[in-house]
């Protein structure tokens, strides 16, 4: 019975995962992973069932078969509606079911009953053998099954991580996780993660709140620059995320051609920050979004978009909405990618224009989806329909690893080095630059340019340390040192206000600083907001920027890999020089982490 039940649940699960869900399975190796991943969870469920119902093994087997079918059917119905897998927090939102029954029933198919075929077959078989004596599995047999389940899961996880390293610590796409470890293992994993996070919230007490309040009171208040405060008051805001764009390409040439001709021109008419750093962790683009909208740091592991979508946040979209702005997001990827369908409402966005709102097909797509030029072309029509003034975030996609482009889209030749990634990065950046140029022309044609403010930022680095040798050659250096690596974490920041003269600003800054900066440019106070960032135009802002891994930069020092460097020379200096700032960096990161892990903004005094 155990053997037959295992086989039936295994086959049923594989069939549903392979043909009912649209999982991104590529090649025979991934096909094999998908084929094998149901068996470990199947054996585990059977062992659990026979341990709980020790005296009723037949009932235990039937219950496990039925339960597996129920989980698959719930996921299947949810997938039909959202093209996504149900998560533990969503499943626990039972208070919403009363309003959803009609929608749920509309998604049910008569063929869904076939999911319970194995349960029916097992029930018929058990009925025919109801007179036969049944001897439960002994402890040794159950232990052997449990050990087999653990070994199979370990093998499954190792194979999956050979395709997608750090799979469970970087769960940025549920479809990839389900493809890799199976629907049942994913459900258990998701439940464990969420229960752990909920326990952290439950343990949050007065001491944590007092610590947070104390840190907030000690933060230096921004001394607003009167020449900048309210300079963009009442304007629409365009916030443009430039995928994987690092500062080292700005103003540079390759094959005797400018890599970013449009951005080089925009720099002359904008406030350009040449000491602006990305502070992302494992969440990459979503971390950048989070930090800009909340002025809190990303998490030390995982992506806050996945781990804490149900927290309360004092986010920029919410604040702007209170002052009459309409906050919207434009990103031509499916809405569940990086859990945006849950996180955006938590941040206060009114509308998310996702892949469902775009015309996407093979000819206008590459790599991760819709190319940037058609993305902007299609977005402008949607933007024109927004209520004014608006806060409009657009997330580009094309300049993403592995930076593949069709020949017709290469406006500059590939770079020539021993790194294919860096070689492809150059024409990919050039394509994004052209897309931005065309978008600005479209905004002008739509009559939106003069009464808007444009903020363009690089979201995270695109070239990793694996390509240091090629990067050293590009930059004319002998090698890339840890000090140089920190400098390569700089990303461009342009603040372009039509009619306002710009300049290059050398002040230190990071993505957590953008929220108070935007508020002050719009003439809005930010003092009551819980934050770790400071106005980039503030007259008393500290020359101090902290990266997510604990590295930091001041006007005189750089600290990374537990080494202190003199910023002027790039050489190591006395570690004691960095100790004060090291404590400040730890305080800032811990403060932000406590806010997120404890969901303190639900109770903290504003």
Q: From 14, 63, 52, select the one nearest 34 (Cα to Cα).
A: 14
**Rounded to an integer, what distance in angstroms lies between the CA atom of residue 447 and that of residue 289?**
27
Listed in sequence order, the residues at least 6 apart from 542 whose beta carbon sits closer than 8 Å to its beta carbon are 220, 534
Three-class DSSP labels, 299-344: CCCCCHHHHCCCCCCCCHHHHHHHCCCEEEEECCCCCCHHHHHHHH
Q: Using an 8 Å Cβ cutoff, are 495 and 271 in contact?
A: yes
Active site residues: 285
| C-alpha pair distances (Å), 276 with each of 346, 410, 491, 550 | 27, 28, 6, 16
**Rounded to an integer, what distance in angstroms lies between the CA atom of residue 265 and that of residue 156?**
51
Q: Using an 8 Å Cβ cutoff, are 82 and 341 in contact?
A: yes
Burial class (CB in 10 A: 0-12, 13-18, 19+), 65: buried
**Rounded to an integer, what distance in angstroms lies between the CA atom of residue 456 and that of residue 394?**
10
| C-alpha pair distances (Å), 570 with each of 1, 169, 557 | 69, 33, 9
**Rounded to an integer, what distance in angstroms lies between the CA atom of residue 606 and that of residue 603?**
9
- Decide: helix, strand or coil at residue 510: strand
Question: Burial code of 138-151, b = ≥16 C-beta within 10 A, e = fewer?
Answer: eeeebeebbeebee
Q: H/E element holding 232?
A: none
Q: From 473, 370, 464, select the one nearest 421 (Cα to Cα).
A: 464
Backbone φ and ψ of 341, nearest 5°: -65, -25
């Amino acid at each position: 019975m155990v053997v037959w039940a295992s086989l039936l649940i295994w086959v049923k699960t594989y069939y549903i995962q392979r043909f009912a869900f649209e999982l991104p399975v590529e090649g025979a190796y991934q096909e094999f992973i998908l084929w094998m991943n149901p068996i470990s969870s199947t054996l585990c469920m059977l062992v659990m069932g026979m341990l709980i119902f020790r005296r009723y093994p037949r009932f235990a087997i039937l219950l496990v078969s039925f339960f597996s079918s129920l989980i698959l059917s719930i996921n299947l119905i949810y997938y039909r509606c959202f093209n996504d897998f149900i998560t533990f927090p969503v499943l626990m939102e039972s208070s919403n079911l009363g309003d959803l029954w009609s929608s749920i029933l509309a998604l049910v198919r008569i063929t869904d009953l076939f999911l319970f075929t194995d349960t029916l077959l097992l029930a018929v078989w058990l009925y025919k053998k109801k007179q036969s004596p049944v001897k439960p599995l002994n402890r040794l047999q159950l232990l052997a099954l449990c050990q087999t389940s653990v070994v199979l899961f370990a093998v499954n996880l190792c194979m999956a991580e050979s395709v997608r390293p750090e799979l469970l610590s970087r769960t940025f796409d549920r479809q990839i996780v389900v493809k890799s470890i199976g629907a049942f293992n994913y459900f258990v994993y998701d439940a464990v993660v969420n229960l752990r996070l909920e326990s952290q919230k439950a343990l949050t007490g007065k001491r944590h709140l007092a610590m947070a309040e104390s840190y907030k009171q000690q933060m230096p208040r921004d001394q607003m620059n009167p020449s900048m405060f309210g300079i963009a008051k009442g304007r629409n805001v365009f916030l443009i995320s430039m995928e994987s764009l690092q500062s080292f390409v700005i103003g540079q040439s390759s094959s005797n051609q400018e890599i970013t001709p449009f951005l080089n021109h925009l720099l002359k008419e904008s406030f350009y920050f040449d000491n602006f750093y990305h502070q992302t962790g494992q969440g990459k683009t979503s971390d950048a979004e989070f930090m800009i909208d909340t002025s809190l740091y990303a998490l030390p592991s995982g992506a806050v978009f996945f781990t804490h979508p149900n927290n309360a946040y004092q986010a920029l979209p919410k604040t702007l909405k209170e002052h009459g702005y309409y906050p919207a997001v434009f990103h031509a990827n499916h809405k569940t990618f990086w859990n945006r369908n849950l996180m955006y409402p938590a941040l206060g966005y009114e509308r998310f224009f996702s892949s469902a709102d775009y015309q996407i097909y093979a000819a206008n797509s590459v790599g991760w989806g819709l190319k940037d030029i058609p993305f902007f072309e299609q977005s402008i029509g949607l933007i024109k329909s927004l209520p004014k003034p608006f806060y409009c975030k657009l997330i580009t996609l094309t300049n993403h690893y592995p930076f593949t482009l069709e020949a017709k889209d290469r406006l500059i030749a590939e770079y020539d080095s021993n790194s294919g990634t860096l070689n492809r990065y150059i024409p990919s950046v050039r394509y994004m630059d052209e897309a931005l140029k065309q978008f600005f022309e479209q905004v002008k044609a739509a009559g939106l340019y003069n009464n808007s403010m444009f903020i363009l930022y690089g979201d995270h680095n695109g070239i990793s340390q694996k390509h240091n040798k090629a990067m050293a050659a590009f930059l004319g250096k002998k090698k890339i040192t840890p000090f140089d690596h920190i400098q390569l974490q700089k990303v461009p920041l342009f603040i372009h206000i039509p009619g306002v003269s710009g300049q290059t600003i050398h002040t230190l800054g990071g993505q957590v600083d953008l929220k108070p900066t935007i508020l002050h440019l719009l003439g809005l106070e930010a003092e009551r907001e819980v934050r770790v960032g400071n106005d980039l135009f503030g007259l008393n802002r500290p020359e101090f920027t902290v990266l997510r891994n604990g590295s930091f930069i001041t006007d005189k020092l750089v600290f990374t890999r537990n080494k202190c460097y003199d910023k002027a020379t790039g050489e190591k200096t006395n570690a004691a020089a960095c100790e004060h700032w090291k404590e400040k960096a730890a305080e800032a990161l811990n403060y932000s982490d406590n806010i997120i892990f404890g969901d303190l903004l639900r109770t903290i005094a504003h």
